[in-house]
Structure 1
Amino acid sequence: MIDDVTIRRIGPKEAAAYTEALADVLVDCVQGGASVSFMLPLSHEKAVTFWRGIAEGVARGERAVLVAEDRDGQILGTVQLILLQPENQPHRADVAKMLVSRKSRRRGIAQRLMAAVEEVAREEGKTVLVLDTVTGGDAERLYQRSGWQRVGVVPKYALMPDGAFCGTTFYFKHV
């Protein structure tokens, strides 16, 4: 049931205050095999440092962070919109770090996060969104169901958290 989950954009103060909770989600996802720029073992401390940097980016207006939280305020998932782009691409943004804790999956949270991040993009005047994901992973089905267009695959683009190579599939969407 997703009626008890709220999706919202957080501001700079909340982004800074939520670094511990966001780090918990990141560590959980990486431990579950998510290829999201980190290798195993991912320490909580390293994850907190990452989220502190993201909070600074939110404060500078370079990123938007959205969270999915339950009625008790526990963060179940998150997604980012990278707003800062080169000057010849002011209409574009990147979707990054789509994370839903393993215990919260299969509840429609990721789909709701994606719809919300697209709405934030429109509010920010962004009309072209791009993202990348592990080729063959569960997220590909989500993005395809949500109307994202597949651009192509780069084999051996990144590493899985355990060190194995993985292909990366690139997607775009006009919003």
Structure 2
Amino acid sequence: MKVYLIRHSEPDFSQVDAAGYKGLARDLTRLTPEGIKIADKAAQSPIFQEVQMILVSPYTRTMQTAHEFLKYHQIPSQVELLLHEWRPDKANRSDATKEELDTAYQDFLNGTHNSVLDFETGDEVIARVKSVLDRYKNKYDCIACVTHGGVISQFTGERTIPFCGIYEIDYE
């Protein structure tokens, strides 16, 4: 099965920051006006002529990105919980410091574990996403997954994933 991994568009954290949202609540953020333009431009990609299903991470920024794609294409879509972003703290501590989160992210990228946080490893991210893809691989020849840079980097090896960057993988 051909899979297009697509990063969400540019998020606007100003609303969630102004509301004082922390941790997972920050994932309720919407796209910036520029992010909507980026998504609209990405929606013109020829890949959407072959995509049979769009799977979407449950974060607001990914769902809004997919919404922009679906304005132009009549493709079935499904929100899939396990397409979410990398988890820096599996215990969901609300008191993790920025420094602890930054260390966990560097460990995640480098395959090390110097962090005091119990973060999701790259192998765990891959296994989580594969558990979703496995449910679709015998039903479709080509799907798109609107997801996150941390997820895409684990499948592609790329460290810098642009907003609405599209990456093709063969999934068996």
Same fold (TM over 0.5): no
Shorter-chain TM-score bucket reads 0.3 to 0.5
Instruction: Looking at secondary structure, tell me which structure has more strand per residue.
Output: 1
If you compute each CA radius of gyration, which structure gives the higher value, 1 or 2? 2
- TM-score normalized by the length of structure 1: 0.32
Specify which structure has the higher proportion of helix.
Answer: 2
Structure with greater contact order relative to length (CA < 8 Å, sep ≥ 6): 2
